[in-house]
A = this chain, B = another copy of it.
Amino acid sequence: MTYDIGWDLYRSFLGVLREGSLSGAARRLGVAQPTIGRHIAALEEALGVALFTRSQSGLLPTDAASRLVHYAESMEAAAAALERVASSQGPGMRGTVRVTASDVIGVEVLPAIIAGLREQHPDLRVELALTNKIQDLLRREADIAVRMTRPRQVSLVARRVGTIELGLHATRRYLERQGTPRQTGDLARHALIGFDEGTAFVREAAKSFPDFQRDAFAISTDSDLAQLALIRAGAGIGICQVGLAKRDAALVRLFPDQFSLKMEIWVSMHEDLRNSPCCRITFDALAEGLRFHTDPP
C-alpha cells in the first residue's frame, strides 16, 4: 500500500518544512534546489494533496502539510535512532547515545559527567540535546532524558536520582552596591531577574512568592542560562539552583527560608535500551553523577 512512494520524498518534504524554502532544504540535504522542487511536486502528485503554496520568497505549508509534519518527524526520529543503534554494533563500548536535558543541567552539570564517562570509554559518542521541550523517548527522539518530572509513560525505565533546590541569589558585589534586602518586601527596590513567559511549571511555582512576580522584574528572559549568567554578572537578584550557586564564592543566597523550591530529578530511558551497553552505561553514569550533584531524594 505504501510501496509506491519513495521515502526520500518524505525526507525532502521535511526539509522544506524546516527551512521554509526549496533552496534552503536543498542546502540542508546537500542536493540541488530543482531536485527538492521535483520531490515536492512528486509527493503532492502521489498524495493528491497540495502541500505548499509557492511564492517567490519561499514555500508556505498548507494546512494539509501541517497535519503531516508529525509523521515525517517520526520517520526522521526512527531513522536517527536506527543509525545510533547501528553505530553501537561491534566490539567494545562504541556507539552514539543521545541525551536530552534542560539548558542549565546540560551546561552546568552534565559536561563534567560526560567528560568523565568519555574518559573511560573514548569510543562512546554523546549527543546532547538541550531543550525544555520534553522529547519523546518512545519515538526515540532521544535515548536518555534528564527531567524534572516523573515520566508518565510506561515502558520507560526511570530512576529518581535526587532533588534540586532553587533559591534567590545575587553576587556579593551587587549586594554591596545596592544593599542587601532585609525582608522580602525590600525586593521591590531591587533589580529582579525573572522569566518572560515561563513554562506552566514556573508560572505555577511563582504564585507562591508574591514578592517575585512578573511585573516586578527588571530583566526578564525565558532562557534559564541567561538568567544564571545575569545573576553571575551582578545584574540583579534572581533564581538559580542552590547547588550551582554554592560552587561560586561570589554568589550569595537570599531568604533561604522563604524562597525555596525543590524539584525531583529523574533520569529515564526506553526499557528496550537496557540491553544496549552504551545506553546503559551512560544511564548509570548520569544517574550516579547527578546523584552526586543533587541532594538526596
Contacts and interface: CB of A to CB of B under 8 A. Distances in A.
Interface of A: 1-8, 10-11, 28-30, 47-49, 63-64, 67-68, 70-72, 74-83, 85-87, 89-90, 127, 138-140, 152-154, 272
Contacts of A11: 6-7
B47 A83 contact: yes
Contact of A72 (B1, B6, B29, B82): B82
17 contacts: A1-B83, A2-B76, A2-B80, A4-B30, A48-B86, A49-B86, A63-B89, A67-B85, A68-B82, A70-B272, A71-B81, A71-B82, A71-B140, A74-B75, A74-B77, A74-B81, A75-B79
A11 B10 CA distance: 12
A86 B74 contact: no
Contacts of A79: 2, 5, 7, 10, 71, 75
Main secondary structure of the interface of A (DSSP, over half): helix
A127 B1 CA distance: 10
A48 B81 contact: no
Contacts of A152: 154
B74 A78 contact: yes
B7 A10 contact: yes
Contacts of A90: 49
A75 B7 contact: yes
A78 B72 contact: yes
A89 B66 CA distance: 11
Contact of A8 (B8, B89, B154): B8
Contacts of A74: 74-75, 77-78, 81, 139-140
A75 B72 CA distance: 9
Contacts of A4: 30
A31 to B, nearest CB: 10
A2 B152 CA distance: 29
A140 B48 CA distance: 21
Nearest to A81: B71
